[in-house]
Structure 1
Amino acid sequence: MGTKKILIIDDELSILNLVSMVLKREGYEVEQARDGNTGLRFFESFRPDLIILDIMLPDINGNEVCKMVRSNSSIPIMMLTAKSDIVDKIVGLELGADDYLTKPFDNRELLVRVKALLRRTGLKDVNPDILSYSDIVINLKEKVLLKNNKRISLTPIEYQLLELFMKNPSRVFTREDLLTRVWGYDYYGDSRTVDISITRLRKKIEDDSKNPKYIVTAYGFGYCFKGTYE
């Protein structure tokens, strides 16, 4: 599969050097950028498998960088920030980030999260079957979603959520179930992360995300995929 490449975008040289050292020691190929514009250029030229992105940057802030990357790529993004306010974390997740880590951080936790994100994106399903329901079609082999025969770009988290739901129609999953199955046992976030990701997924697959017909809320319990397969 080759060496995984990670792009770190942070204006603090000490953080860049620390994270680079930790990742290189694990065998990753690393590129650094100290501002958003440079980071976006390296995103195009370096073609990383994962981006570690600080919010507070001297030119374009990290949330804008995240939004720009996410507009044409499903690459996993982990926000690295000194801000611990839950609002900042929610904003990043709503813009398309997959995870966040607050400074100061433990090197072991950083590696656990990096490996978890890369593991999710690297999963290969040898089952070539197609899952379809109404106007939604998933190619399990290619990890591709089609809606009305149009390809819809999903982040790794969004794809795994949708695949899990479609493989288990009408089954209610609690937020804790989804955190364990999709984010993994080693994830440190809370159930709000699930709600944000479900909202993002609904906007992509539902005709009216405020009145969903596919991923519905089981009030007091969690979420489920409504209907049976064609």
Structure 2
Amino acid sequence: MANIETKFLGLNLSSPIIIGSSGLTGKTESIIKLAKAGAGAVVLKSLFEEQILAVIAQETRKGGVVYGQTDIDEYIAFYERKHSMNEYMELIRETKKNVSIPVIASINATSDKEWQTICTDLDKSGADALQLNLFITPFDAKISGEGIEETYVSIVRKVKALTSLPLAVKIGPFFSNIGHLVTRLDEAGASAVVLFNRYASPDIDIQKMNLKTASVRSSDTEYRSSLRWTALLSHLIDSDIAG
């Protein structure tokens, strides 16, 4: 049998097959099955910044009504973040106990303000590396493309200053100059770039005439864009590239 061992983020992989963040990587039981099937590494199901912030906002509103205290806001925010992190760190620890392949933690970040505070916790969790899934929705027409790119770079710099873990950055394809952004991420300290994030897309139910979520399944042609950009970018940066 051919030797398909490789390296990614400085980690030794028995195969180049890396299972991306998904429902399959959210439970230790399924990760064990993936490792037995030949996965070289797994990226755990992501912690989502916007989801936790939404819970904090909801609980804060409840707190203000029930308790009539403004200082409870800070306690609720602290509790929700800590609770989510404790659950995630337990997933990392349990997975590391049961598989020998690299386990990569994953954070879905939408700003440069919230997630840096958890990086020191991830350092202690036993994760082999960290993947940042970055997506800043360009809804605000006052923010330039350059401004959005600068936020991506700022997040990477801040995270690198707070963690010793190898850092992969997963980005989407919608930039005016992907090569320029990837070069800046490399210079900011990213050890790898992952191409590309897939986003939920809307559709229209013509029977009910309302919005619905389009199919979330990928097609067998989607790898072509990642393959193309891997070839175009590989000579520009020292970082690893994954698709």
TM-score normalized by the length of structure 1: 0.32
TM-score normalized by the length of structure 2: 0.30
Structure showing greater radius of gyration is 2
